[in-house]
């Protein structure tokens, strides 16, 4: 940029006026006016310059006012009258007229005769409401003017303003409050303005210019004091998504605190479609409590009782049903005490001629101790107090809870607290009724789905305590979801209870993951479908063993090929899916050693003794903890260089043996290595089929509409959702 030319300070005032009037460049004209204002400190020079500028055509009045606006306070009295007359020219900009009027008021006496003409000059031709607004704007140009303040105060008491929305009339202070409270509008320079575009402009500026990040927060605090910083951050971040900015963690944390996710379009919180599962009731020390109810087992000398407390504070003591009230020690004392008492009475009244009383006392004491010991050790101990409390809760409270949401929550907590506690046979009838009712209530969704899931799981665990396999029983709980009979919220609630309550041992959890995968494939879900569904069901994904796409594809090939003799040329084998159903022990052992096992290869007993269980995995054929994955290498059995035994050489791999393997076993291993390379891997890579309709059928109950922008999405608590339909 070229340097700004300097104005010669020796130029006469007339030359400066002529140059300012003739200049066509605004920048030069402003510099000339500044020079004139700086050099005219005396009244004569100021008046001469003002009149010369005012005589310029066609914009002399504007130039004269600009000249006065640039003069230092106080302005010379000689031009006060001329400047006041120029203020009446309404063709000049309002801002400049107000600035000059402010300078005039600062130089004039603070009286009505002096202030009035200036005020009337800047308000000429305006309505009463606009006149009041112009005087208020003029107040901002003057440090202090009592006369002007009185004029504004009188105008506010006299002038009524009409609301542009409801057409009602108010005095100015009440009008400003009415605009905001009723219509959320602000009063800016005499006009009702919607503040939303102002805030939107500030948000847009923060997106394009990172240095302006504070502006949307300031504007929102000014116009929308009830708005939170999270809402402003949400507005800015939602517009920055397209530019690749990360989503602030504070938004996801705030959404998680509300049990909500984030809309992928506007980042507004969207309620989680799956309700949270209530925690188990607190159980310990013979007391069960939660949601205002309490069941406490109390052991007294008079026997065991159960105290039931309701949310209203009512307390009822009931005897424990179907069980003894006295422990063995108290029972022994109870049966021995009458005998000892009777013997004492006989000794006391028996005459001495029938024998020494001490002998009878000893015999009575001995008989009493014998009876006590019989009663003490022939009677079993009292049931665990926690189990008694659980049984009492099912007997005394559960049948009367009804179908309210609070009842559903309490029953869900009771079901979770009852796993492994209490007598399954005694609560079987009450639990059956809860399951049947919950199946009907499940159509309402909400808290009734976790209740149905918890009741089914407790029923399954009770059956397993009576001898049924728990893993296959749990599979029946999840089958209705995969068959499309129950929504995803039911399956996710059941999965959360299984994982958090530890209903499965680690070995059984691995076996259960295999059975779940088989069940999903039976329900026409492909690997890609299953991965897309499990993105929104994190607890169910844990039950599936947190699968990967490659692992699921290989398992899918084996699952499909188990009936088509896909590996007939390689040899005989048993799939991990069949082992999980028919041989629980073998499946647990195999998955503990090789979590990604697909097939257990059948080999002769002699080969198994040397190689152990040979397993096919996506990584290769595993024998003696060696991964065999080179199909092109030579295979042979040679003498071991260690001096004794043999060695199996398969490509670069070497396996030490105690005895020589027959050639058929070696050939079988080679065929299985080739099967993995030539069939399993290519078919797994080609398993890209997607059933979009099936995925949408599963995920449709999870779709929610954003309350702010109206976009449909699938989201979970503390996460950014995905637009519907899910890609």
- pLDDT tens digit sequence for 564-584: 889 999 999 999 999 999 999
Arithmetic mean of pLDDT over the chain = 84
Token pair, residue 291, equals 């949601």
CB 323 within 8 A of CB 388: yes
Nearest CA to 583 among 608, 540, 613, 624?
613
Domain boundaries, the chain: 13-161, 249-268+706-727, 539-701
Phi and psi at residue 355, in whole multiples of 5°? 130, 170
Q: What local confidence, expressed as pLDDT, does residue 405 receive?
A: 86
Q: Which residues face 282 on adjacent strands?
A: 289
Distance CA 654, CA 503 (A): 42
304 Ramachandran zone, left/alpha/beta (phi>0; psi -120 to 50): beta
Q: What local confidence, expressed as pLDDT, does residue 330 receive?
A: 60
Distance CA 47, CA 51 (A): 6
Nearest CA to 202 among 243, 239, 246, 248?
239
Distance linking the first and last C-alpha atoms of the chain: 54
CB 550 within 8 A of CB 618: yes
Q: What local confidence, expressed as pLDDT, does residue 8 receive?
A: 61
Task: Give me the DSSP letters along 46-106.
Answer: HHHHHHHHHTSTTTHHHHHHHHHHTSPSSPPGGGHHHHHHHTT-TTS-HHHHHHHHHHHHH
- Which pairing describes strands 620-623 and 615-617: parallel, antiparallel, or unpaired? antiparallel
Distance CA 475, CA 460 (A): 10
Q: What local confidence, expressed as pLDDT, does residue 308 receive?
A: 93
Q: What is the DSSP letter of 235?
A: H
Distance CA 721, CA 727 (A): 12
Distance CA 552, CA 566 (A): 17
In angstroms, the Cα distances linking 598 to 423, 547, 550, 561, 571 are 40, 14, 13, 12, 14
Q: What is the Cα Rg of the chain in Å?
A: 46
| Residue in this structure with the two tokens 């005769």, named with its chain if needed | 113
Query: What's the sign of the alpha-carbon dihedral 223, 227, 232, 235?
Result: negative
Coil/strand/helix, residue 392: helix
Q: In which residue ranges of the chain is pLDDT below 50?
A: 1-3
């Amino acid at each position: 940029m070229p340097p700004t030319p300097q104005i010669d300070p020796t130029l006469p005032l007339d030359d400066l006026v002529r140059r300012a009037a003739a200049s066509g460049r605004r920048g030069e004209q402003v510099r000339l006016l500044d020079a004139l204002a700086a050099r005219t400190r005396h009244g004569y020079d100021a008046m001469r310059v003002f009149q010369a500028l005012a005589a310029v055509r066609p914009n002399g009045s504007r130039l004269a006012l600009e000249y006065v606006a640039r003069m230092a306070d106080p302005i010379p009295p000689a031009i006060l009258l001329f400047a006041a007359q120029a203020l009446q020219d309404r063709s000049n900009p309002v801002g400049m007229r107000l600035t000059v009027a402010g300078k005039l008021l600062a130089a004039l006496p603070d009286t009505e005769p002096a202030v009035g003409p200036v005020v009337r000059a800047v308000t000429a031709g305006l309505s009463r409401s606009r006149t009041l607004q112009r005087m208020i704007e003029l107040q901002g140009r003057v440090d202090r003017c009592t006369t002007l303040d009185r004029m504004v105060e009188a105008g506010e008491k006299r002038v009524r303003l009409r609301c542009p929305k409801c057409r009602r009339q108010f005095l100015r202070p009440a009008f400003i409050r009415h605009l905001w409270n009723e219509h959320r509008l602000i009063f800016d320079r005499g006009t009702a303005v919607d503040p939303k575009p102002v805030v939107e402009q500030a948000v847009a500026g923060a997106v394009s210019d990172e240095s302006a990040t504070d502006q949307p927060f300031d504007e929102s605090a000014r116009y929308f004091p009830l708005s939170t910083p999270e809402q402003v951050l949400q507005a800015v971040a939602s517009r920055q998504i397209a530019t690749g900015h990360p989503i602030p963690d504070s938004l996801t944390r705030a959404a998680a605190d509300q049990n909500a996710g984030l809309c992928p379009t506007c980042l507004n919180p969207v309620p989680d479609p799956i309700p949270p599962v209530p925690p188990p009731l607190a159980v310990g020390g013979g007391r069960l409590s939660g949601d205002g109810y309490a069941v406490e087992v109390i052991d007294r000398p008079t026997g065991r009782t159960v105290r039931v407390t309701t949310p209203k504070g009512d307390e009822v003591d009931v005897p424990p049903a179907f069980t003894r009230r006295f422990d063995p020690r108290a029972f022994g004392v109870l049966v021995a005490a009458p005998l000892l008492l009777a013997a004492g009475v006989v000794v006391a009244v028996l005459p001495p001629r029938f024998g020494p009383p001490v002998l009878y006392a000893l015999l009575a004491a001995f008989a009493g101790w014998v009876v006590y010991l019989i009663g003490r050790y022939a009677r079993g101990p009292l049931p665990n107090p926690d189990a008694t409390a659980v049984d009492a809760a099912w007997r005394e409270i559960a049948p009367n809870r009804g179908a309210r949401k609070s009842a559903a929550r309490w029953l869900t907590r009771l079901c979770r607290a009852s796993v492994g506690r209490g007598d399954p046979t005694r609560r079987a009838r009450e639990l059956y009724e809860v399951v049947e009712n919950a199946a009907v209530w499940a159509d309402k969704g909400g808290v009734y789905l976790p209740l149905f899931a918890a009741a089914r799981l407790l029923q399954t665990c009770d059956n397993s305590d009576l001898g049924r396999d728990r893993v296959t029983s749990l599979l029946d709980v999840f089958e209705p979801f995969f068959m499309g009979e129950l929504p995803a919220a039911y399956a996710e609630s059941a999965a959360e209870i299984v994982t958090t309550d530890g209903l499965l041992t680690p070995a059984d959890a691995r076996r259960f993951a295999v059975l779940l995968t088989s069940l999903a494939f039976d329900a026409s879900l492909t690997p890609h479908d299953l991965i897309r569904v499990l993105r929104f069901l994190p607890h169910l994904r844990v039950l599936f063993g947190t699968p990967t796409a490659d692992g699921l594809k290989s398992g899918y090939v084996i699952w499909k090929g188990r009936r088509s003799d896909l590996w007939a040329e390689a040899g005989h084998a048993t799939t991990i899916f069949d082992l999980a159903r028919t041989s629980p022990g073998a499946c647990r052992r195999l998955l503990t050693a090789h979590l990604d096992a697909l097939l257990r290869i059948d080999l002769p007993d002699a080969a198994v003794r040397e190689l152990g269980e040979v397993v096919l995995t996506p990584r290769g054929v595993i024998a003696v903890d060696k991964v065999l994955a080179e199909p092109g290498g030579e295979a042979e059995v040679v003498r071991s260089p260690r001096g004794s035994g043999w060695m199996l050489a398969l490509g670069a791999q070497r396996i030490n043996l105690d005895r020589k393997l027959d050639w058929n076993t070696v050939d079988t291993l080679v065929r299985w290595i080739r099967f993995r390379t030539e069939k399993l891997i290519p078919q797994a890579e080609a398993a890209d089929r997607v059933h979009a309709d099936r995925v949408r059928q599963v995920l449709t109950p999870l779709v929610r509409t954003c309350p702010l922008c109206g976009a449909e999405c699938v989201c979970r608590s503390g996460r950014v959702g995905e637009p519907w339909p899910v890609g």
